[in-house]
Amino acid sequence: MTGRPAAVRHDITLRVNGAPHTISVEPRRLLSDALRHDCGLTGTHVGCEHGVCGACTVLVDGSPARSCLMLAVASEDVEITTVEGLAGADDSLSPVQQAFSDCHGLQCGFCTPGFLTTITAGLRDNPDPTREEAQEMIAGNLCRCTGYQNIVAAVLRAAELRDGRP
Amino acid sequence: MTTRLFGQRVPRVEDQRFLRGRGRYVDDVLVGPGTLHAAVLRSPHAHARILDIDVSEVLDLDGVHAVWTYDDLDGVMADPLPLLIPHPALTHGRTQFALARDEVNHVGEAIAFVVAEDRYVAEDAVDRIRVGYELLPPVVGIEAARAATHLVHDDVPGNVGARMEQHNGDAPAAIAAAPHTLSLDLTIERSSCQPMEGRGVVSRWDPDTSRLTVWTSTQTSTGVRGCVAARLGLDLAQVDVITPDVGGGFGVKINHPWPEELLVPMAARALGRPVKFTEDRREHFISSAHERGQVHHVEVGFDDDGRVLGLDVTFWHDHGAYTPYGLIVPIITATQLLGPYKPGAYRVRFESLFTNTVMVTPYRGAGRPQGCFVMERTIDAIAAELGLDRAAVRATNFIQPDEFPYDHGLVFQDGRELEYDSGDYPASLDKLKALIGWDDFPALKAQAAAEGRRIGIGLACYVEGTGVGPYEGAHVHVETSGKVKVAIGLTTQGQGHATVFAQIVADELGVPLEDVEVVSGDTRKMPYAVGTFASRAAVMSGSAVQLAARAVREKALRIAAEALEADVADLEIVDGLVQVRGTDAALALGTVAVLSNPLRYAFDEASKAATQFAVGDPGRPPVAEDDEPGLEARDFYSPQRATFASGMHAVIVETDPDTAEIRIVRYAVVHDCGRIINPMIVEGQIHGGVAQGVGGALYERMAYDDSGQLLNASFMDFLMPYVTEVPDTIEIDHLETPSPLNRLGIKGAGEAGVIPVSAAIAAAIEDAEGLVITAMPISPSELHALRQSKETP
């Protein structure tokens, strides 16, 4: 085997939480790695790198997406929202974030960003979920600490808190 | 008046960072250019001799900085990793090398270490390393280990690392004389912790100060610090270990040093650049630790009431390829198996066996889930044999509330007597029966049966030794702003330590909770510490925090009494103000901090009050002979022995007559961890423990094939519970039996939730199906097979 040819890099601009980030990446770079290591937005966490755990979930044009299953170079023409983009402009917690605090919906906090983004989108689509719908909303995300009891409670609490809000 | 925070459902202070994405986990440290990234070449074979390693093509690759194999390791770095907890019975303990020397003993064992510009390039480089192997026959599973047709280590006869026996009384004689006897064979499979964040290490060598900083996702920063200094030939004073936010531990991160915890600092020093290693999920499955795998044989003798007269347990513990954590897991199984019961005589013997699989170190519960499963299955079998109520047989065998302290006549995992400090098992059972509706269940079951449905109920009891020594410490410092900085030495990984210890300090010092900041796991702030394991943080650090805060309070009152010309007995601290009761005379705690530190130089307005022309008696030294400057104190808590928490779970399951699907209908927990600092956090620990227990009971297992390949080394195939797999509701009732061993009366709560789950669910399935369950976890396929074998014996 000979030496690998010099890696091709692409200059791309990601729009994350409303701000542009111009970075230079290899074609193979995962969006999760680009967000964390190139944009410095380390709130998005990587738990499995095969799309099962949901910790790396971000919002792509408002819809939940596993950033470990996306390439950075393919993420240029979308609006990306990470956990850092959920709080209000005055740094106040969003209804979903506040609900997690109220309900003890997190312990180690590692899976939390993926739950927060998932539920933020979920409540936008279904603002008044039943308990069963709340469970379904988070059924694609793994948490090893909480046993999910308080996360389900947080979904329902967030629905109350955001009542009437977009 | 300030409300006492101890016992309140105080929201967690750490959530504010986590919820905004501002947690700082190990892979978040030193993000940016300049940091190099490591990848590890791991063995693809379960058992092989390494003939040669060719790294010649690695350094040709753009972006690769260095590669290490065993031959590149110097001095003590080339020695086997430490055997952390030696034991006289561990006659054949073995540990791995930081990089394999001439033999690999499990798939995933580290062979070479590459450092490159980024992880992608480092992994490209790993792919270019060529290793010649001579394959050796692998030993997989307890049966193969016991047969010893092949050996894991040539110099370990029979694959037996340890043989151990403990007894209290003459169990074989008691069984021989008993009116009834039973034999049981029981099995628990392997599982693992699987924190959402795997292991990770970052290190930076500072050539200007000749100091090394290591950030690691660990459960013991002081343990890692000692190992790093020893192996890298550094003075302890040159090494700082910082535990950042940790994305879950559950036991796997108490083992140390992992090879990468030594290789990363070594590389950082050698290359003069920060180096980072972040484990990926597959690596976590094949190169971190597992637990649980045991096979038990039970002989038991009992009377007509089901009272256990003699219990004789023999078990085989699969400890994998290496034994860095000694015999802690099987010793805990052997001792904690007894739970809340007092058999007339007890003997336990075990063999701890080598296999060519990932090594075994504690996973939440640490040997107790197995012991609990064995004891509770035995009690259920006795009840079935005699046709007695299962709860009644348990009650017959309980240690009674007036029998504490109760000495089992055995030696526990900390080398001290297995002596229970307090508990009230009959009260727990009453609460549990009421909570689940135990006495009403037969009617419910009959009604379900009439509808063609199968439901069953089970219960299981446990006792958990928590808060083992040797010690923990705390440092409490009141700054001149009045803010209180608390440092504890053990680490935190989601248990809410920053909140519960702040509650204790706020109560002791009379300051608002928001003025207290707790830092954990940073050897710069608290160099003496042990670690976070054995549900010990609340008991150990909580007690130390209280002692240190109390010392600060006493000093604050002494200084304030002098300044206010009042008697200490007349002072109180409320909301950060030291005041003379019933008067307006008061001093802010921050001002007391100013006065505690006689100054020559003022650095701000407040500090002017402490300068040499402002305070002090010219006739006396500014700092008295037996005093120190500053409003701070450090203290340590070291108990004589562990404190014993307890609890009981009951579960109702429904099994599908056609598909054999197993569904949890109700789940109830009665939990006694002594005085509760924060019920919200304790309940969260129980929820999480139960969920992990459900995983262990119904879904999770390590699927090794005969060649030692782990077939399900991903979250795709290793079935960790989602929300859809856990009980819809976990009903909880608390009992608070204070521990007499610490001033706060607390016992540990971290591991408890997981311990009795397999035992309780097995009992419920047995009740629903009328089949004897002897092995967990159990899948629908296995339940189906059991049904078949019953129909066609």
Sequence-distant (6+) residues with CB within 8 A of B25 are A42, A45, A110, B197, B200, B217, B244, B245, B246, B247
Question: What span, in angstroms and rounded, lies between the C-alpha atoms of A31 and A51?
Answer: 12
pLDDT value at position B608?
81
Residue where the block lists tokens 């499963």: B373
Which chain B positions have a beta carbon within 8 Å of A111's beta carbon?
Answer: 196, 247
Q: How far is CA B201 from the centre of its chain?
A: 19
Average pLDDT value for residue range B538-558: 97
Q: Based on the domain organization, do A59 and A16 belong to the same domain?
A: yes
Q: Chains A, B: CB contacts under 8 A, how many? A: 189
pLDDT value at position B258?
98
Find the residue in B nearest to A29 (Cα): B120
B750 and B539 in contact (C-beta within 8 Å)? no
Helix axes B328-336, B368-386, angle to 10 degrees: 30
Query: Which sign does the torsion angle of CA B689, B693, B699, B705 carry?
Result: positive
Cis omega before residue B793 (within 30°)? no
Average pLDDT value for residue range B101-128: 97
Distances (CA, A) of B117 to B35, B206, B275: 8, 19, 10
Q: pTM for the whole thing?
A: 0.96
Question: What span, in angstroms and rounded, lies between the C-alpha atoms of B212 and A18?
Answer: 39
Query: Which sign does the torsion angle of CA B449, B455, B434, B458 carry?
Result: positive
- Tens digits of per-residue pLDDT, B501-531? 999 999 999 999 999 999 999 999 999 999 9
Determine whether the interchain pair A50/B281 forms a contact, defined as Cβ–Cβ distance below 8 Å: yes
pLDDT value at position A4?
55
Determine whether the interchain pair A3/B62 forms a contact, defined as Cβ–Cβ distance below 8 Å: yes
B494 and B602 in contact (C-beta within 8 Å)? no
pLDDT value at position A1?
41
Average pLDDT, chain B: 96
Question: What span, in angstroms and rounded, lies between the C-alpha atoms of B104 and B135?
Answer: 10
Cis omega before residue B679 (within 30°)? no
CA dihedral (B116, B119, B123, B128) in degrees, to 10, reads -20
Determine whether the interchain pair A147/B194 forms a contact, defined as Cβ–Cβ distance below 8 Å: no
Domain boundary pick from A51, A85, A119: A85
B192 and B289 in contact (C-beta within 8 Å)? yes
* pLDDT > 90 fraction of chain A, expressed in percent and rounded: 92
* pLDDT > 90 fraction of chain B, expressed in percent and rounded: 94
Which of the 8 DSSP states describes residue A38?
I
- Tens digits of per-residue pLDDT, B312-353? 999 999 999 999 999 999 999 999 999 999 999 999 999 999
CA-closest candidate to residue A156, choices A126, A119, A125, A129: A129
Matching fold, domains B368-468+641-791 and B470-637: yes
Which chain B positions have a beta carbon within 8 Å of A84's beta carbon?
Answer: 20-22
Q: How do the domains of chain B map onto residue ranges?
A: 34-136+199-246+253-287, 368-468+641-791, 470-637
Quick one: CATH architecture of B368-468+641-791?
A: 2-Layer Sandwich (3.30)
Distances (CA, A) of A60 to A15, A80, B569: 10, 5, 63
pLDDT at A166 over 80: no
Q: Based on the domain organization, do A76 and A26 belong to the same domain?
A: yes
Check CB contact of A23 with chain B, cutoff 8 Å. Answer: no
Number of domains in chain A: 2
Average pLDDT value for residue range B140-144: 98
Question: What span, in angstroms and rounded, lies between the C-alpha atoms of B500 and B507?
Answer: 11
Question: What span, in angstroms and rounded, lies between the C-alpha atoms of A61 and B127?
Answer: 37
Question: What span, in angstroms and rounded, lies between the C-alpha atoms of A68 and A58?
Answer: 10
Check CB contact of A164 with chain B, cutoff 8 Å. Answer: no
pLDDT at A6 over 80: no
Average pLDDT value for residue range B240-261: 97
Look up residue B20 and give its two tokens: 């905004």
Higher pLDDT, B31 or A129: A129
Q: In what order do the strands lie in the sheet with B643-655?
A: B454-466, B643-655, B662-672, B730-734
Q: In what order do the strands lie in the sheet with B36-42?
A: B64-68, B110-116, B36-42, B275-278, B200-206, B211-216, B239-242
**Residues making up chain B, counted from first to last:** 793
CA-closest candidate to residue A9, choices B126, B128, B62: B62
Check CB contact of A108 with chain B, cutoff 8 Å. Answer: yes
Determine whether the interchain pair B196/A110 forms a contact, defined as Cβ–Cβ distance below 8 Å: yes
Rg (CA), chain A: 17
Question: What span, in angstroms and rounded, lies between the C-alpha atoms of B103 and B116?
Answer: 26
Residue of A102, A145, A156 to mutate, interface with B, max B Cβ within 10 Å: A145
Quick one: CATH architecture of B470-637?
A: 2-Layer Sandwich (3.30)
CA-closest candidate to residue B649, choices B710, B733, B583, B580: B733
Domain boundary pick from A52, A85, A118: A85
Output the DSSP codes for B95-128. Answer: --BSS-SSEE-STT-EEEEEEESSHHHHHHHHHT
Helix axes A95-103, A149-161, angle to 10 degrees: 140
| pLDDT band for position B606 (cuts 50, 70, 90) | confident
The top-level CATH class assigned to B34-136+199-246+253-287 is alpha beta
- Return phi, psi of residue B138, to 5°: -85, 150
Cis omega before residue A64 (within 30°)? no
Check CB contact of A130 with chain B, cutoff 8 Å. Answer: no
Average pLDDT, chain A: 94
Check CB contact of A37 with chain B, cutoff 8 Å. Answer: yes
Find the residue in B nearest to A101 (Cα): B15
Beta partners for residue B97, in sequence order? B80
Question: What span, in angstroms and rounded, lies between the C-alpha atoms of B115 and B118?
Answer: 8
- With respect to residue A60, please indicate whether it lies within any of the assigned structural domains: yes
Question: What span, in angstroms and rounded, lies between the C-alpha atoms of A6 and B124?
Answer: 13
- Tens digits of per-residue pLDDT, B616-673? 788 888 898 899 999 999 999 999 999 999 999 999 999 999 999 999 999 999 999 9
Sequence-distant (6+) residues with CB within 8 A of B621 are none
Q: How far is CA B254 from the centre of its chain?
A: 7
Beta partners for residue B164, in sequence order? B350
Domain boundary pick from A55, A85, A115: A85
- The dihedral region occupied by B109, where left means phi > 0, alpha psi between -120 and 50, and beta the remainder, is beta
- With respect to residue A34, please indicate whether it lies within any of the assigned structural domains: yes
Look up residue B7 and give its two tokens: 């016992």
Output the DSSP codes for A104-148. Answer: T--SS-SSHHHHHHHHHHHHHH-SS--HHHHHHHTTT---SSSTT
Q: Which helix (H) or strand (E) holds B382?
A: helix B368-386
pLDDT value at position A2?
44
- With respect to residue A2, please indicate whether it lies within any of the assigned structural domains: no
Which chain B positions have a beta carbon within 8 Å of A116's beta carbon?
Answer: 19
Three-state DSSP at B590 gives: helix
B26 and B202 in contact (C-beta within 8 Å)? yes
Provide the shortest C-alpha distance from residue B281 to chain A (in Å). Answer: 5
- Enclosing domain of residue A25: 10-85
B681 and A104 in contact (C-beta within 8 Å)? yes
| pLDDT band for position B793 (cuts 50, 70, 90) | low
User: What CATH code is carried by the domain that includes residue A126?
Assistant: 1.10.150.120
pLDDT value at position B1?
43
Provide the shortest C-alpha distance from residue A123 to chain B (in Å). Answer: 17
Distances (CA, A) of B116 to A6, A71, B266: 14, 21, 15
User: What CATH code is carried by the domain that includes residue A66?
Assistant: 3.10.20.30
Provide the shortest C-alpha distance from residue B645 to chain A (in Å). Answer: 20
Q: Based on the domain organization, do A60 and A115 belong to the same domain?
A: no
Q: Based on the domain organization, do A81 and A99 belong to the same domain?
A: no
